Amino acid sequence: MTSLFISTFVSLFSLINPLSAMPVFISLTNGFPKDHLFRTIRRTSLYVFLVCLISFLIGEFVLNFFGVSIHALKIAGGIIISRSGFQLLNAQHKSDVQGPIEDESRMKEDISFSPLAMPLLAGPGSISLLINLALQHEAFDAKAIVIAGIFMVCLSIYLILSSAPFILKYLGQSGLRTMSKIMGLLVLSIGIQMIVASGRSLFYASI
């Protein structure tokens, strides 16, 4: 169970990657009063937790409703996660909040759900990973461990965003880029592993 918790935390944290979201977060919240800033951070962390939790708990029912097979999900999810890995390796993982979306965000009073929670933090890659985990771990105790991993990731998001100016000053853009590349390699490996595992299962099933 400890290995499941660690693998869930590391995989989900690497995909969400709040470290690479810090420059965008600082830009969007520049000038916020302190109480408004921390309220936004709390709400963002809560929304990410709810998005991840809902994806984990009801994702399987959505797949069954639309008739999507497990292998199709794994291959599609693997492609999405691999794409996120490539973006991390090229420091482009958090480039979704640009142009019109960024301009619209500056005019909104509450940006905690959109664009911070989605799509900046929780996105298709993390949702695909959680649905895949739900299909792999159907026992109640295993699901509880995964939910605990989700909670710890969201707690990490709160702590990192709360300390964003200090962390960014300490690490610098080059440090964040280096960490993103390390996480990108891990995320890319996760995506490829999902595709390989599904392809192997399909191959043996056809024999």
Q: What is the pLDDT of residue 192?
A: 92
- pLDDT digits (tens), the chain, 207 positions: 789 999 999 999 999 989 888 888 888 888 788 898 999 999 999 999 999 999 999 988 888 888 888 788 888 888 988 988 888 887 665 555 555 555 555 556 678 888 889 878 998 889 989 998 998 888 899 999 999 999 999 999 999 999 988 888 787 777 878 888 888 888 889 899 888 888 887 777 666
Going from N- to C-terminal start, the domains of the chain cover 2-206
Q: What is the pLDDT of residue 167?
A: 85
Q: What is the pLDDT of residue 60?
A: 80
How far is CA 31 from each of CA 86, 102, 159, 166, 186, rounded to the nearest angstrom?
Answer: 33, 15, 20, 16, 35
Q: What is the pLDDT of residue 161?
A: 94
Cis preceding linkage at 18, omega within 30: no
CB 133 within 8 A of CB 59: no
* Count helices and strands in the chain by DSSP H and E runs: 8, 0
Its pTM stands at 0.86
Q: What is the pLDDT of residue 119?
A: 79
Angle subtended at Cα 155 by Cα 96 and Cα 188, rounded to the nearest 5 degrees = 45
Q: What is the pLDDT of residue 202?
A: 74
